[in-house]
Structure 1
Amino acid sequence: MDETDKDRISILGQIKEKLIGRKQDWAREGRLLTGAAANPAQRLPPGQREVTDWPVLDLGIQPEVPRSAWRLAIDGAVENPVTLDWDALMALPQQDSVLDMHCVTQWSRFDNHWQGVSIRTIVDLVRPKPTVTHVLFESYDDYTTNLRLEQFAAEDCFLVHTWEGKPIPRQHGGPLRVLVPRYYLWKSAKWVRRISFAEADRQGFWETRGYNNNADPWLEERYS
């Protein structure tokens, strides 16, 4: 590694720490909170604004994972742990869906057209043990997050690879990301590489930095 590469890594690290610090400040300050709650029948959650673009949000790192090298391990307390390559993923039943998404930074985007694999297909494939209560995620940028099993296994949750008829771009988590539309978007891990079914909760990256462990937009669960 030459000095130019070392300088680049150092600069990226500084950018990442600055972004993390700013969002932790938001949690401490309760930024964007309205104090309101609403029924999900109200399509736009409290404090959100509708957008027509797709804002890019990350930790300053957007890993490039070619489909030829991509792998997804699905393991933990399951009867049939698997590791999928891209061909194996695409051999599973594929579904189209139209779902909204809501980001904790206050934007929501309606009527997104997705294609991917239903989480119910994944659950049927690996067969979680009765003792499973939570699901843990790891990404190619080392990001982590967590969900309760019932949140993850809902009928509107998917592993998605296509958005608006095109492969999900790298900056939005391609080649594959999790989509859990009823919760703030940080629960929908980008660049996912491992899904573990667990018998206990383990909070992820933002959950240990002041963000709510449940993350329901209609209850405005932005922060812990």
Structure 2
Amino acid sequence: MQSNERREREREMRDAGRLPPGQSLTLKWPVLHVGSVPLFAPTTWDFRVFGLVEEQLRLSWEELCKLPQSEVLADLHSVSRWSRFDNRWGGILATELMKRVTLRPEARHVMIHGENNYTANLPISDFLLPTTVFALRHDGEPLTAEHGYPLRLVVPNLYGYKSVKWVRGIQFLDRESPGLWEFNGFHIYGDPFKEQRSSS
């Protein structure tokens, strides 16, 4: 796409209310993460749901892949000021996963746990939106390792640091608790349309 076409597309997205303030359209998909890309061993990999639940859930890679899958078309907004539009994410909806879990009444927040000790927090209300998906695929192809293979949580309504790569589990809490980037000064919620980039 030529620069004039790109500017026109950016203006179109802004006029449609899809480009948050302070963001620029990208056609590429920049790679940003903490630590090195972890190795994936399907026979030992597992996914856990724990914390304020009536019974903890553990799924092997084979069990996870057998869960019903859906597609979500959604934009991705990075706190580093780029936006990528109309991503097709294929995988397991958060609402589908939660059909297998009974929350305790005091559960209010979710801590997402990824490889490399990465964590990110979410209110349960955002976690349970119909667009929140545990993605296995992007635009019809399996996720690449640098973009989160084998499993990435995608939370389209918040900045990308909430969309945890290499996710390994979710923990339900009764209070808000900062994850890795939130603890280091990023906004505790991270709404792109309110430019909630930092906690200050």
- Fold in common (TM above 0.5): yes
Q: Which amino acid aligns with 1:42?
A: G
Q: Percent identity between the aligned chains? A: 38
Q: Which amino acid aligns with 2:27?
A: T
Which deviations, in whole Å up to 9, do the C-alpha atoms of 1:122-153 show, x marking residues without a partner?
22211211211100011111111100110111
Counterpart Cα distance in 1 of 2:105 and 2:190: 25
Q: Which amino acid aligns with 1:59?
A: V
Map of 1:63 onto structure 2? 38
CA RMSD in angstroms, aligned pairs only: 1.6
Q: Which amino acid aligns with 2:187?
A: N
Unaligned runs of 5+ in 2: 1-13
Which deviations, in whole Å up to 9, do the C-alpha atoms of 1:57-76 show, x marking residues without a partner?
01241112233332111111
Map of 2:147 onto structure 1? 172
More strand by share: 2
More divergent stretch after superposition (157-166 vs 213-222): 157-166
* Aligned: 1:87 with 2:62: yes
Map of 1:78 onto structure 2? 53
The equivalences for 1:52-201 within 5 A come to 52-201=27-176
Map of 1:16 onto structure 2? none
- Structure 1 residue 166: Cα displacement: 1.4
Which has the larger Rg? 1
The alignment covers a number of residue pairs equal to: 186
Unaligned runs of 5+ in 1: 1-38
Q: Is the 8 A contact 1:120 1:154 kept in 2?
A: yes
Q: What is the TM-score of this pair, normalised by structure 2?
A: 0.89
Which deviations, in whole Å up to 9, do the C-alpha atoms of 1:73-104 show, x marking residues without a partner?
11111123211111111111100121111000
Match of 2:116, SS state, is coil
- Structure 1 residue 50: Cα displacement: 0.8
Match of 2:180, SS state, is coil
Map of 1:10 onto structure 2? none
Map of 2:177 onto structure 1? 202
